[in-house]
Amino acid sequence: MDKTYNHKDIEDKIYKNWEEKGYFKPEINPDGKPYSIILPPPNANAPLHFGHAMYVIEDILARYHRMKGDKTLWLFGADHAGFETQFVFEKKLQSEGKSRFDFSRETLHKMIWDFVAENRPVMEDQLRKLGFSLDWSRKKFTLDPDIIAIVYKTFKKLYDDGLVYRANRLVNYCTFDGTSFSDLEVVWEERKDPLYYIKYGPLVLATTRPETKFGDTAVAVHPDDKRYKEYIGKEIEIETVLGKAKIKVIADDYVDPKFGTGVVKITPAHDFNDYEVGKRHNLPMKQVIGLDGKMNEYAGKFADLYVKQARKAVVEEMQEKGLIEKIDENYTHRIGLCYKCKNVLEPLPLEQWFIKMEPLAKPAIEAVRTGEIKIFPKNFEKLYFQFLENIRDWNISRQVVWGIRIPAWKNKKTGEWTVTDGDVPEGDFEQDEDTFDTWFSSSQWPFATLQALGEFETFYPTTVMETGYDILRWWVARMVMMGIYATKEKPFEHIVLHGLVNDPLGKKMSKSKGNVVNPLELVDKYGADAVRFALVYGTALGNDQALSFEKLEAMRNFSNKLWNIARFIEMKKESVSEKGSENQIDNEWIAKVDELGKEVTKNLDNYQFNYAAEKLYEFVWHQFADKYIEDVKNRIDKNSYLVLSDLFLVQLKLLHPFMPFITEEIYQRLGFGESIMIEKW
């Protein structure tokens, strides 16, 4: 063996051999108990980010269960990531001086398809570089025709069961990206903005949005507010920048008497709370902001101004007319931002498809309450229940081209909608231009992939859904709801949640901050095994961690320690004496290694990856290498050599799920067998 271990010489070669031999397929244990994990599908549009390196937890589980003899499927898939991919592609077009509006729908879709087809192999090779033992022979894509057919079938079933409806309701709309979002995709940010105290006839009210006054359809006060009792139910005359008008004063419990003056304007078309007030009082919706983010004809001379421009112009004119009593320049409130472009989202009325979530949420809540589905760590149950018990109907329409087009058809003559499972209805119909929210299609991923592959009966329900805790609500809870609804069975037995990997200063990695670390650069420098081991060592499941270069260095040193142990064993192979007898010390170490195996097994069964890694590191380096080998090198004989080799083999097997490359290389160098991948635990 070479004096030093060089990961660059062996990792690609070993992975290629594993893949060619079919070691990642469940067929290597054809008679084993089915064990399945569906990989959370990475976006097909871009290279991996550091969060994807945490797939190491799934790889540890997959390799561990293969070695236990289970019929193990770790299924690879890629997500078309509708809005996100189109966002990335549009930035590419902008850099070329082009726009999505320069192309027809069909042309744009084809261009994005080709763009994704170019990037997918890059992402797949990166997963290989990290040693992830995915079954590539069964890989799926969210835009595969068989997946789309299943998504259509689910949508049709929801519609037929009265759980999907179309309505003109307020949605979170990004006028920059040109699409709506569900509530979960809104990024809330606390900001300080001016609070304007505006004169409305005999009343004064406070608002942060004077530009939406053209859409006001009422003024509201709290029913118990004695200051305004005389005005409730009456119309008051107000002066506006567009002339005089009349507006009704209503009473509603929503109004906080302590906010501003205790009087608020109600704009049902541009505020979610106002929308609910409007429904309770049968108020009309008067939309004054268009999908392009500009004021419309209702704004009179302010029409065609963008919202910020209109606010400035309206305030200036109101001040000239003496309609503003005062301005509080430092009012703190929360505003919703687009999670991608960070522009302020506009609440806008839009006809969309919605799913009634409450009937779907109840069985999902029950599944976890009864223990049918278990969440690890258990403390995340609270977040799960909190989301499902306060769930709102889900807007699943997206105004993007890239994605699964909604199979809903509008009769051109009657305006009535027909939902199909993908077939075109007979007659004069036009298909909805919108596509499904990507989370809608991916919420069906466990059963859709296995049904498409013909593996449903064998591997569903899947065993583990492992992912970051940050998408417990976005994705995991929705998979539970849709899985139970569509199949009458839970989609997985265990939900296992890991924490986030932040930058070395503990800050979230983001391109805008310029602190993103490419996992492949670390693999190139330290080796895949060191990166993998560093990610699970010292960090409890569900906890965030800061990327530690010291830890990476330590794990590379640990790889070298393993290599040096192997070199010692190889060098002694031919030089040991034939003589020897049973040694009590050897028997004690046999017992110690046996106990180590039991402890690591228990840790892995309980998803305590950090405990398993820490025990292995401590034992291999500070017990086996520092003590046992130091002892045995002074009395090496045939018997002690065999014990030494056997004990090291056990430790290699225990380490293999964590550090697959170096354990495989050492296993073959020492002549233990064909591959450690087919060794039994």
434-447 pLDDT per residue, tens: 999 999 999 999 99
In the chain, the percentage of residues whose pLDDT exceeds 70 is 99
184-197 pLDDT per residue, tens: 889 999 999 999 99
Predicted confidence band at 512 (pLDDT cuts at 50, 70, 90)? low
Q: Per the CATH hierarchy, to which homologous superfamily does domain 521-678 belong?
A: Isoleucyl-tRNA Synthetase; Domain 1 (1.10.730.10)
Query: What's the distance, CA 374 to chain centroid?
Result: 19
Tell whether the torsion through CA atoms of 64, 67, 69 and 70 is positive or negative: positive
- Indicate the CATH number for domain 144-163+357-498: 3.40.50.620
Predicted confidence band at 665 (pLDDT cuts at 50, 70, 90)? very high
Q: Is the pLDDT of residue 506 over 70?
A: yes
- Indicate where the chain has its CATH 3.40.50.620 domain(s): 144-163+357-498
Q: How far apart are CA 378 and CA 138, in angstroms?
A: 32
Beta-ladder partners of 435? 398, 405
Q: Is the pLDDT of residue 577 over 70?
A: no
Q: At what angle do helices 638-655 and 660-669 cross, to 10 degrees?
A: 150
Q: How far apart are CA 161 and CA 72, in angstroms?
A: 36
In the chain, the percentage of residues whose pLDDT exceeds 90 is 86
Which of left, alpha, beta for 527 (phi over 0: left; psi -120 to 50: alpha)? left
8-54 pLDDT per residue, tens: 999 999 999 999 999 999 999 999 999 999 999 998 887 788 888 99
Pairing of strands 397-398, 435-436: antiparallel
Q: How far apart are CA 424 and CA 602, in angstroms?
A: 55
Sheet of 179-181, strand order: 179-181, 164-174, 346-355, 394-395
639-650 pLDDT per residue, tens: 889 999 999 999
Return the pLDDT at 321: 93
Measured in degrees and rounded to the nearest 5, phi and psi for residue 606 equal -100, 10
Of 267, 156, 145, the closest CA to residue 212 belongs to 267
Q: Is the pLDDT of residue 580 over 70?
A: no
DSSP 97: T
Q: What is the CA radius of gyration of the chain?
A: 31
Within 20-147, strands assigned E span 34-38, 71-78, 135-141
Q: What is the mean pLDDT of residues 331-340?
A: 92
Q: Is the pLDDT of residue 579 over 70?
A: no
> Which two tokens mark 186?
């809104």
Q: Is there a contact between 534 and 493 (Cβ–Cβ < 8 Å)?
A: no
Q: What is the mean pLDDT of residues 660-679?
A: 97
Return the pLDDT at 507: 87
Q: Is the pLDDT of residue 488 over 90?
A: yes
- Indicate the CATH number for domain 183-346: 3.90.740.10
End-to-end CA distance of the chain: 26
| Mean pLDDT rounded to a whole number for the chain | 94
Beta-ladder partners of 77? 140
Q: How far apart are CA 432 and CA 439, in angstroms?
A: 19
Q: What is the mean pLDDT of residues 520-527?
A: 94
Q: What is the mean pLDDT of residues 593-611?
A: 98
Q: How far apart are CA 47 and CA 40, in angstroms?
A: 15
Q: What is the mean pLDDT of residues 63-67?
A: 98
- Indicate where the chain has its CATH 3.90.740.10 domain(s): 183-346
Q: Which helix (DSSP H) or strand (DSSP E) does residue 462 occupy?
A: strand 462-468
Buried b / exposed e along 469-480 (16+ C-beta atoms within 10 A): bebbbbbbbbbb
Predicted confidence band at 582 (pLDDT cuts at 50, 70, 90)? low
114-128 pLDDT per residue, tens: 999 988 888 999 999
Which of left, alpha, beta for 607 (phi over 0: left; psi -120 to 50: alpha)? left
Return the pLDDT at 633: 86
Within 340-459, strands assigned E span 346-355, 374-376, 394-395, 397-398, 408-411, 417-419, 429-431, 435-436
Identify which has the larger pLDDT, 517 or 109.
Answer: 109
Q: Which helix (DSSP H) or strand (DSSP E) does residue 314 occupy?
A: helix 307-320
pTM: 0.91
